[in-house]
With several copies, the nearest count.
Chain A
Amino acid sequence: MGKVGIIGVGQSAFVRTYPGSLKELAFEGFKEAVQDAGITSQEIDASVVCSAPEYDKQRSPAGIVAEYLGLNPQPTFYVETLCSSSSTGLKLAYSLVKSGLHDCVAVVGVQKMSEITSAESQERMGRGTDIQWESPFGTMMPAYYALFAQAHMNKYGTKPEDLSLIRLKSSFYGRLNEKAVFRKSLDMDQLTSPDSRLTDPVASPLRVGDCCANADGSSCVIVVSEEKAKSLSREPVWILGVGAASNSVNLTGRELFSGLPAAAEAARQAYEMAGITAKDVDIAEVHDCFTIAEMMAYENLGFAEPGGGKELIQGKETYMDGSIPVNIDGGLLSKGHPIGATGGSQIRTIVNQLRGEAGDIQVKDPEIGLVHNIGGVGLYGNVTILGR
């Protein structure tokens, strides 16, 4: 079987409120990806639409999006793993191509979180976990990550200021990203002073500055077989490894509260499939919905030992000039987090880096890039390895 690669990537600007419909939003990322691939949409022989349905009024968005993008009569379907939906979509596109069923698949990620009112949104957030056993206690996503932050701090001596260093890096690079929703550069004082709005508590020990923002946005990744790439005379970025794992929704099923085993297992699979180790990764995008999430990602991916994440950020090793640049497009903390579109945006950043087309944030000659994309609080773990 031949290799499978990516020949086109695109995303819309990530914004608070998109002034159009879901399908129109999806068009923006799609158009960029198709033009980036230098193909017409007739070349695409299947599409995958990735999203989280509770933010849509539109039922069965795959059909409506495929129609708007001109992707009939090709098959299409909808896939969801919360915030990692488009990484799951990428894995499925890989398998559809690798298996020989298709040779050019568009992975469309889209989320219009502003489609519903903020009261409706709050209500849905209250149902983000097992609705029988956990939601009735009044849980929300920041509080779940806060539980992990608390345990991480207790076990390893991680400090709130260590987490703030992660947000500091994010804002440093977010300022350069024209498609990011949050482009202000922050300083350590704004992130740590008791007088700053960013240190207001959300769910202890996490504070406002530790959390990413909702956004509307879309992304698209065009996946092809080696043969198809040849026939189109395109040089793809190759998908070298895909790993995915799950963990129990109920925290009562977890063994560990200072890391996410589904991420570690997904990384193990992806490294093995790619035949590499963490040391071989030149650049990474990780799922920093909260600062603690990036800290745990360092450790789950093997960039640091468990508990060693704080030294990595203290030493600026995850900055552009460090030993392992992470989220130098601003990450979710600066870009915003339009659930279904997020994974595709991460993949786009890595593909652009591997092509040497990352502009201001281009690292020197990267050969291997990694995408870490999480659904829930480690419920769904996804790691993808890309290479030139």
Chain B
Amino acid sequence: MAKKEIDVRFKKFGTVSFTSTSKVNDFIDYLDQGKVVGTRCSKCGLDFFPPRADCFNCLGSDLEWFDAAADTGELVTFSKMKYGPVGFENDLPYTIAVADFGKYKIFGRMDNDLADEAIKIGMKVKVSANSLDNGNMNYVFKAA
């Protein structure tokens, strides 16, 4: 059997990526364009972040992209990490967080430029595509 080309775009996600192949690999192209996209089921209208290729509700696989970067959310919780897993040493310390955008939530990191004192549960945030030193991409929360 001829070896097929594997789509490994997802290797570009995060400081260390553990996934290469996903049916939502287009997420990475959007991220390159500054968009942080989720998917919306065209049948149920449910919003999914992180994006899914399949709707668990209707079992359909007809989903459309939407850009979360346009929305404003509220910080739900956060933690500043003093230790990290292998491969994240150069990032330390960093703050992970969850933000609520109403129809969906996003898990990510706080923008490094935000002072610790400025980070509070309940603060308004926007999610923003972010380039990493190793050439990869992720997304961070900035004060809205």
Contact between B79 and A250, CB atoms less than 8 A apart? no
B residues less than 8 Å from A134 (CB atoms): 107
A residues less than 8 Å from B17 (CB atoms): 136
B residues less than 8 Å from A142 (CB atoms): 83
Instruction: Tell me how far the C-beta of B18 lies from the nearest C-beta in chain A, rounded to whole angstroms.
Output: 4
Which residues of A are in contact with B by a Cβ distance under 8 Å?
A: 16-21, 24, 27, 31, 34-35, 41, 57-58, 68-70, 119, 122-123, 125-127, 130-140, 142-143, 146-151, 154, 200-206, 250-254, 257
User: Which of A41, A119, A123, A205 contacts B56, CB < 8 Å?
Assistant: A41
* Interface pairs (20), CB distance under 8 Å: A20-B23, A24-B53, A35-B59, A123-B85, A126-B18, A126-B85, A126-B86, A140-B83, A143-B96, A147-B77, A147-B97, A150-B77, A201-B80, A204-B79, A251-B98, A251-B105, A252-B106, A254-B105, A257-B76, A257-B98
B residues less than 8 Å from A147 (CB atoms): 77-79, 96-98
User: Which of A21, A69, A119 contacts B19, CB < 8 Å?
Assistant: A21
Instruction: Tell me how far the C-beta of A56 lies from the nearest C-beta in chain B, rounded to whole angstroms.
Output: 10
Query: What is the CA–CA distance of A138 and B138 in the complex, to the nearest angstrom?
Result: 11
Q: Which 6 A-B pairs have the closest CB atoms?
A: A136-B14, A126-B85, A70-B56, A138-B88, A146-B79, A131-B18
Instruction: Tell me how far the C-beta of B46 lies from the nearest C-beta in chain A, rounded to whole angstroms.
Output: 10
Query: What is the CA–CA distance of A58 and B52 in the complex, to the nearest angstrom?
Result: 17
> Given the known A-B contacts A35-B59, A132-B10, A133-B50, are A138 and B85 also in contact in the complex, defined by CB atoms under 8 Å?
yes
Query: What is the CA–CA distance of A145 and B20 in the complex, to the nearest angstrom?
Result: 28
Contact between A150 and B107, CB atoms less than 8 A apart? no
For residue B65, CB closer than 8 A to chain A, the reply is no
Contact between A202 and B82, CB atoms less than 8 A apart? yes
User: Which of B81, B87, B98 contacts A140, CB < 8 Å?
Assistant: B81
A residues less than 8 Å from B50 (CB atoms): 130, 132-133, 250, 252
A41 and chain B: residue at smallest CB distance: B56
B residues less than 8 Å from A148 (CB atoms): 77
For residue B34, CB closer than 8 A to chain A, the reply is no
B residues less than 8 Å from A133 (CB atoms): 50, 107
User: Which of A68, A70, A125, A150 contacts B85, CB < 8 Å?
Assistant: A125
Contact between A132 and B108, CB atoms less than 8 A apart? no
Q: What number of A-B contacts does a CB cutoff of 8 Å give?
A: 158
For residue B15, CB closer than 8 A to chain A, the reply is yes
B residues less than 8 Å from A206 (CB atoms): 79
Instruction: Tell me how far the C-beta of A72 lies from the nearest C-beta in chain B, rounded to whole angstroms.
Output: 9
Contact between A122 and B121, CB atoms less than 8 A apart? no
> Given the known A-B contacts A127-B18, A251-B107, A252-B107, are A24 and B77 also in contact in the complex, defined by CB atoms under 8 Å?
no
Instruction: Kindly name the residue among B83, B91, B121 whose own CB sees the greatest number of chain A CB atoms within 10 A.
Output: B83
A155 and chain B: residue at smallest CB distance: B121
For residue B71, CB closer than 8 A to chain A, the reply is no
Contact between B86 and A143, CB atoms less than 8 A apart? no
For residue B62, CB closer than 8 A to chain A, the reply is no
For residue B66, CB closer than 8 A to chain A, the reply is no
A252 and chain B: residue at smallest CB distance: B105
Contact between B108 and A31, CB atoms less than 8 A apart? no
A32 and chain B: residue at smallest CB distance: B59
Contact between A19 and B7, CB atoms less than 8 A apart? yes
Contact between A136 and B16, CB atoms less than 8 A apart? yes
User: Which of B19, B77, B79 contacts A57, CB < 8 Å?
Assistant: B19
Instruction: Kindly name the residue among B17, B78, B96, B109 whose own CB sees the greatest number of chain A CB atoms within 10 A.
Output: B96
B84 and chain A: residue at smallest CB distance: A138
